[in-house]
Amino acid sequence: MKKGFVFDLDGVITDTAKFHYIAWKNLAKHLGITIDEVFNESLKGISRMDSLDKILAHGHKENEYTLAEKEALAKNKNDDYVKLLADLSADDLLPGVRDFLVDAKAHNIPCAIASASKNAPMILEKLGVLDYFGHIVDPETLMKGKPDPEIFVKAAQSIGVAPKDAIGFEDAQAGIEGIKAAGMYAVGISTTEKLTGADLQVTSMTELSVEQLISI
Ligand code: B16
Ligand code: MG
């Protein structure tokens, strides 16, 4: 029997990747770097500063900025990104998410968020689902990002569940690897990518049943 659920945010609860892409593309253009949607895939689940480093390396400009300048660039990107989230609402929940959370609550299954995003609490509030989560891991407290298992272990423990009794939900390969390294059951959610190592892969949460999952 499984006793707790740990969710990634971007790509699982809502699709914020499109807004990250617009904001990064604007910043990259300002720096004279071109990024496309294929490159954007490699930024999914990656922290803000690591994403900036990848973009700078992509444009062969990795040695052109001091740490303070990079922090200012990352802040500009985030200000732009947060503006793009202004109209985010419950309509932006991905299919099946609300029903799944309601069902988890009805079965007394605690839920936590394991997202690299520092904007996660604000996004969940705008989506109207903040109250379904017992804990949101603060990415500032992490030593390492995904694919390290740290965020998933912390998320499970924060809701009082041993990782072996938890199920993790992810849309990115790095996330699936982190969930498996944490000793958890991994559900991959993706329409585009084959997520290697996932115990179960679906294209949307509408295909999932809380009852079936907890009996695994
Ligand atoms: P922020 P996830 C990740 O969310 C995004 O996929 C990634 O593109 C982003 O850079 C990262 O959050 C940090 O987000 O700039 O808002 O702190 O997939 O881990 O939920
Ligand atoms: Mg994600």
Q: Provide the ipTM.
A: 0.93
Last residue of a domain, one of 42, 69, 84: 84
Contacts of 17 by beta carbon, 8 Å cutoff, 6+ apart = 10, 11, 40, 43, 44
Question: In terms of Cα–Cα distance, which of 55, 45, 9 is closest to 172?
Answer: 45
How many Å lie between the centroid of ligand 2 and the Cα of residue 216? Answer: 24
Q: Phi and psi (nearest 5°) for 11?
A: 95, -10
CB neighbours (10 Å) of residue 93? 20
Asked if residue 39 and residue 145 are part of one domain, the reply reads no
Asked if residue 23 and residue 8 are part of one domain, the reply reads no
Asked if residue 24 and residue 114 are part of one domain, the reply reads no
* Parent domain of 62: 17-84
Asked if residue 140 and residue 74 are part of one domain, the reply reads no
Cis peptide before 95 (omega within 30 of 0): no
How many Å lie between the centroid of ligand 1 and the Cα of residue 207? Answer: 25
**Number of independent structural domains in the chain:** 2
Asked if residue 177 and residue 103 are part of one domain, the reply reads yes
> What is this structure's pTM?
0.94
d(CA 115, CA 46): 9
Told to judge if 50 belongs to the known catalytic residues of this protein, a careful annotator would answer no
Buried b (16+ CB within 10 A) or exposed e, 2-11: bbbbbbbbbb
Amino acid 63: pLDDT: 95
Counting ligand 1 atoms within 8 A of each CB, the residue from 16, 53, 92, 117 with the most, and so the one to mutate, is 117
C-alpha distances out from residue 132 to 41, 59, 129, 169, Å? 28, 41, 6, 15
Counting ligand 1 atoms within 8 A of each CB, the residue from 19, 82, 115, 152 with the most, and so the one to mutate, is 115
Last residue of a domain, one of 66, 84, 102: 84
Per-residue pLDDT tens digits of the chain, which is 216 residues long: 999 999 999 999 999 999 999 999 999 999 999 999 999 988 988 899 999 999 999 999 999 999 999 999 999 999 999 999 999 999 999 999 999 999 999 999 999 999 999 999 999 999 999 999 999 999 999 999 999 999 999 999 999 999 999 999 999 999 999 999 999 999 999 988 899 999 999 999 999 999 999 999
Asked if residue 21 and residue 9 are part of one domain, the reply reads no
CA dihedral 144, 119, 152, 2 (to 10 degrees): 180
Asked if residue 67 and residue 54 are part of one domain, the reply reads yes
